[in-house]
């Protein structure tokens, strides 16, 4: 018609379910949010403490999705903002407490 052009991808020639599935497999990829790589806790595998400080180092904190134990069910943006807000509070308190 006057408003729409021809289908671009996968194309009008793709009519069988098997062909459409294969086209989707060929074109699509995974999108993921890395999380949980810098575990919080007191056990030997933990990277940061409850104040986000890296064990064994002074002046270094981890403030990102890597401290989350598991990936959240939605986008990681809001939880990481919350982690950053909490980190800002912790850093501010540490500055005033000496």
Known catalytic membership, residue 33: yes
3-state secondary structure the chain: CCCCCCCCCCCCCCCCHHHHHHHHHHHCCCCCCCCCCCCECCCCCCCECCCCEECCCCCCECCCHHHCCCCCCCCCHHHHHHHHHHHHHHHHHHHHHC
Spot the catalytic one: 33, 64, 66, 79. Answer: 33
Residues assigned a catalytic role: 33
């Amino acid at each position: 018609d006057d408003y729409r052009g021809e289908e671009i991808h996968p194309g009008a020639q793709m009519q069988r379910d098997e062909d459409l599935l294969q086209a989707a497999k060929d074109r699509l990829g995974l999108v993921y949010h890395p999380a949980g790589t810098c575990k919080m806790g007191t056990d030997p595998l933990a990277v940061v403490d409850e104040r986000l400080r890296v064990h064994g180092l002074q002046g270094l904190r981890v403030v990102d999705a890597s401290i989350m134990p598991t990936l959240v069910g939605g986008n990681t943006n809001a939880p990481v903002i919350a982690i950053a807000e909490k980190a800002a509070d912790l850093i501010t308190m540490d500055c005033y407490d000496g």
